[in-house]
Amino acid sequence: MNRRFFNRIFTSALIVAGVGAAQLALAATAPDELIRSVATDVQTIVRQDKAIQSGDMRKTLELIDAKVLPNFDFARMTSLAVGRDWRSATPAQKTDLTAEFRTLLVRSYANAIVRFKDHQITVKPLKLKPEDTEVTVRSEVRKAGSPPDSVDYTLYKKGEEWKVYDVAVAGVSLITNYRDAFGEEIKAGGIDGLIKSLRSKNAQNAAGGEGAAKK
């Protein structure tokens, strides 16, 4: 699957899982209800915030950091995306990999957030058992006049909170998608080569975002 397409749908995944994490986690909200409840809130914020709509990257990133990221476990996502090579990485490399992968995904979201303000999001009910500690929440994201995209979230229970650690679009896992690409990077240049590649992509994305914001 084209990675640009996957990033586009991951944007919608972040929008669905975005706002109110701290408040909802305190009530131990069920995973499907967590995602369903916050979807409208996130879209409402984007629709009403003129600064975000005009491309204010600083404010957009502040919104993401405060409202979206608490629902995702990026350390776990990164370890699974890197795969078996994660075990041979040093603690410093693991920290750098997680930071760069997180930045890559967040930047993709920040650069596209406005385009998803009018999408229709439908979260399907989940039959949650008391003993469940890992679940998949299924949803559909639809743009008017287009067929829906299936977006499924895999979450695990961390204490009393539910954390997203994988997103599948049309049945294709984000972790699996990146694992293949990361594997090639590691073969070519090792763990440090992957870090360098991610850092370079993030620098390019940041420069592009700043340039767009100034126009």
CA distances from 22 to 14, 58, 79, 121, 149 (A): 16, 22, 24, 22, 28
Backbone angles phi, psi at 171, to 5 degrees: 85, 0
Question: What is the model's pLDDT at position 19?
Answer: 39
Closest among 160, 153, 159 to 39, alpha carbons compared: 153
Question: What is the model's pLDDT at position 89?
Answer: 97
The encoded tokens of residue 4 equal 């640009």
pTM for the predicted model, two decimal places: 0.81
Report the chain (215 residues): mean pLDDT per 10 consecutive residues: 54 53 52 78 80 86 79 94 96 98 88 76 91 93 88 91 90 91 96 97 81 46
Amino acid 161 reads: E
Contacts (Cβ under 8 Å, ≥6 apart) of 92? none
Question: What is the model's pLDDT at position 175?
Answer: 93
Contacts (Cβ under 8 Å, ≥6 apart) of 71? 17, 18, 21, 34, 38, 162, 163, 164
**What is the spatial distance between Cα 165 and Cα 211, in angstroms, rounded to a whole number?**
31
Superfamily of domain 3-214: Tgt2/MlaC (3.10.450.710)
Question: What is the model's pLDDT at position 52?
Answer: 87
Amino acid 170 reads: A
Task: Name the pairing type of β-strands 149-158 and 134-142.
Answer: antiparallel
Task: Name the pairing type of β-strands 149-158 and 161-169.
Answer: antiparallel
